[in-house]
Amino acid sequence: MSVLEINNIKKSFGRTEVLKGISFSLEKGEVLSIIGSSGSGKTTLLRCLNFLETADEGTISVNGSTIFDGSSAKKLSDSEIRSNRLHFGLVFQSFNLFPQYNILKNVMLAPTLLKRGSPEEVEAQARALIERVGLSDKISSYPCELSGGQQQRVAIARALALKPDILCFDEPTSALDPALTGEVLRVIKGLKSKDSTMIVVTHEMEFAKSVSDKVLFMADGIIEEYGTPDDVFGAPKSEKTKAFLNNSLERF
């Protein structure tokens, strides 16, 4: 059974059709990279999965149960949306840490509010996650005392604290100085395991090539190409994919 299955997702803003029928599935432990030019709909797709936007059509299923059905007349309640959202962890380009709390509290906050275990358990788990992203020495620091790369690693620990079924990254390194990009990509790479399923929207082609099980190239709201990194990077079928990859390579 797939962890995530999305079928014919469509989304328009006014008369602009941004997603024109996106379908794919993800198996447990898979890493999917989504690449594509600016404006192709990558962020909108992640936002629809996370219920920050409501898709107009299509279905979204997690672990075999349908959590969204665009054809259903019944509107999801706020509490249904909140619980659906918990299937997904989201790490944005901007880290959005709480500036008034130290690193430990930033990571503990959501599981504490949602009562995911005793205070001792929540703290032990947060400490383990902070260690996993290599920041144990910064546990009592405040976000403003950390570099951008370190803040992004805290944001990753915070997203993991709610044990999402699927962890989604939206260009996690594009706000960072190139020197800090590597440390964040290494942390993401280190999370890859048979239990963690990830979707990474990225412009880092080398990363997409080396970490992904599948690569999806989006253009103008459709899936232009989908396959293994060897397929998509090594033998792209569509002219649009070839042009995009040539352009991306020229930039470096």
Q: Which residues bind ligand ATP (CB under 6 A)?
A: 13, 16, 18, 36, 38-44
Strands 31-36 vs 197-201: parallel, antiparallel or unpaired: parallel
Residues 43, 50, 61, 106: which binds Mg ion (CB under 5 A)? 43
Q: Nearer Cβ to Mg ion, position 43 or 102?
A: 43
Angle at 96 between CA 163 and CA 109, to 5 degrees: 45
Burial class (CB in 10 A: 0-12, 13-18, 19+), 35: buried
What would the 3-class secondary structure string for 136-179 be?
Answer: HHHCCCCHHHCCHHHHHHHHHHHHHCCCCCEEEEECCCCCCCHH
Contacts with Mg ion in 138-177 (CB under 5 A)? none
Q: Nearer Cβ to ligand ATP, position 17 or 183?
A: 17
Pick one of ligand ATP, Mg ion, none as the site partner of residue 106 (Cβ within 5 to 8 A by kind). none
Q: Nearer Cβ to Mg ion, position 36 or 58?
A: 36
Contacts with Mg ion in 60-119 (CB under 5 A)? none
Q: Nearer Cβ to Mg ion, position 43 or 106?
A: 43
Q: Indicate the SS3 state at residue 135.
A: coil
Amino acid at 71: S
Closest approach, Cβ 158 to ligand ATP, in A, equals 22
Q: Nearer Cβ to ligand ATP, position 20 or 163?
A: 20
The Cα 216–Cα 219 span in angstroms is 10
**Binding site residues, Mg ion, CB under 5 A:** 43
